[in-house]
A and B are shown apart, each in its own frame.
Chain A
Amino acid sequence: MAVTNLINKSVKLFAVLLVSMTCLSAQAAVLDPDRADVLYHSYEGGGMTIDGPSVLLRKKTSESVAFTAYYYLDSISSASVDVISTASAYTEKRNEGQLGVEYLHDKTLMSFNLRQSDEDDYLAQSFSINVSQDTFGDLTNLSLGLSYGDNEIRRNGDDQFEEQSEQYRIRAGINQVLTRNLTASFNVEAIADSGYLNNPYRTVRYIDNSVPSGVAYQAEVYPETRNSFAAKFSASYFLPYRAALFFHYRHFTDSWEITASDVELGYRHPLGDSIELEFKVRYYQQSQAEFYSDLFPYRDAQNYLARDKELSDFSDITYGIGITYQLPASVSFGDTRSEASLQWDYIDFQYNNFRDPTADGGVGNEPFYGFSANVIRAFVSVYF
């Protein structure tokens, strides 16, 4: 009921602001330039290997309308600690497609986006609407957005299993030019999920002295609703020797009693006219969900049960480096401008109350789990 009221209120608010924005008249802004990106991505860590291509195409059909198409493929090979403790390694593919349109009217930019993600056991469909407005001598940009998503969840090997979930999102943001070298932005987003929110393959473990191993497993049980709220502050600063410094801080809280925050510092430095270097470091930490436990004392120990490591108390740190090279005109197509980029992120995860069930030590006394991942992106961007 509270969620319904919130959504109703939000839709009314959205409508009022939309009318306010479109009633303003001002000098015209411009749409982003046309571009095409072809990217190869790879993730390797924690027993998982995921890679595949993605393609992004953006084309203006006039000075006020632009279309975007996006395709993304994940080829997944998983033997993660969650899988190998209770099931077999698996491989699967996930296809994602997005179509979007942007319409610019004076200083108001409206966009509509459709998205579908499809794998053997999961179909996710969503749409989103976003409106942004330049105002106050173009020093301020205000944005609002709504999304709705519908998910169908299945379980491979069980034709009878079919569940659904829904997600509503509402977001707002303000971007402000503070000085001739500094901008800052503040974004908030509320998300309401309902339906089947479990992972249908994952189990919790509990003490069972009737079996030789002393531990038994049962299916996870999650609440059927989850309401979350996130707020993010960002700042970008232009350094006097032509380089850029970026700062982000986000705070997150939800109705499962997870509180999380992340902080990121980035630095972009050009070398000559054709090379850009990027460096970043990011730290993330979260508290556990209220119904999470690494080891329950007995079967059906509480109404809701979870042992997803993503719901445990943990932190991770990311170190990233990237290089972008502007390709010479001799290897670009026609009048286009092209760039080649390579980005590498190293992420180290350390769990504070999720133990590695494959390690020695006895039930409930195994060492805490941790792993690192390497994430690589290689891509070419063509501007035309």
Chain B
Amino acid sequence: MLKTLSPRITALSLNCIALLSLMGLSGCTSMGIEPWVKPYERQNLADPIMRLNRHPSASMHMAHVLEGRESARGAEGTGGGGCGCN
């Protein structure tokens, strides 16, 4: 009656990420690609106003509020752990 989320799709996604990760870990430099933003060019990116998780306690609270009221969950970029509630 219920469709199951295809394990193939999930496995394929994980394998793609694994492949990209291993490519990244082995170093793009081996493929002739050099890092194009030098360390001394990153002062804007290092500015505190660019931090996605600038206020971690507040982010965790908002994630908890939404997880209890919406069906979507996951991929927030944080550890997660479920609503823990009825």
**Contact of A216 with B by CB under 8 A:** no
Total count of chain B residues near the partner, CB < 8 A: 63
**Contact of A151 with B by CB under 8 A:** yes
Distance in angstroms from B20 CB to nearest chain A CB is 7
Distance in angstroms from B29 CB to nearest chain A CB is 7
Q: Which residues of A contact B71 (CB under 8 A)?
A: 252, 254, 256, 258, 260, 286, 289, 310-311
Within A155-198, the residues touching B (CB, 8 Å) are: 167, 169-174, 177, 179-181, 183, 185, 187-191
**Across the interface, do A190 and B14 meet the contact criterion of CB distance under 8 Å?**
yes
**Across the interface, do A13 and B14 meet the contact criterion of CB distance under 8 Å?**
yes
Q: Which residues of B contact A284 (CB under 8 A)?
A: 66, 70, 72
Choose the segment among A116-124, A206-214, A293-301, A356-364 that binds chain B (4+ C-beta atoms closer than 8 Å).
A116-124
Q: Which residues of B contact A126 (CB under 8 A)?
A: 81-82
A307 to B11, alpha carbons, bound, how many Å? 32
Q: Which residues of A contact B13 (CB under 8 A)?
A: 188, 190, 229, 231
**Across the interface, do B58 and A169 meet the contact criterion of CB distance under 8 Å?**
no
**Contact of A377 with B by CB under 8 A:** yes
**Across the interface, do B49 and A243 meet the contact criterion of CB distance under 8 Å?**
yes
**Across the interface, do A13 and B18 meet the contact criterion of CB distance under 8 Å?**
yes
Residue ID in chain B nearest A100 by CB atoms: B79
- B residues sitting closer than 8 Å to A (CB atoms) are 1-5, 7, 9-11, 13-15, 17-18, 20-22, 24-25, 27-29, 34-37, 39, 41-42, 44-45, 47, 49-50, 52, 54-58, 60-62, 64-66, 68-77, 79-82, 84-86
Most buried by B among A135, A144, A246, A260: A135
**Contact of A350 with B by CB under 8 A:** no
16 contacts between A and B (CB under 8 A): A17-B18, A128-B80, A136-B27, A136-B35, A137-B39, A140-B28, A177-B45, A191-B73, A225-B4, A227-B4, A234-B52, A242-B49, A246-B52, A255-B3, A262-B70, A322-B55
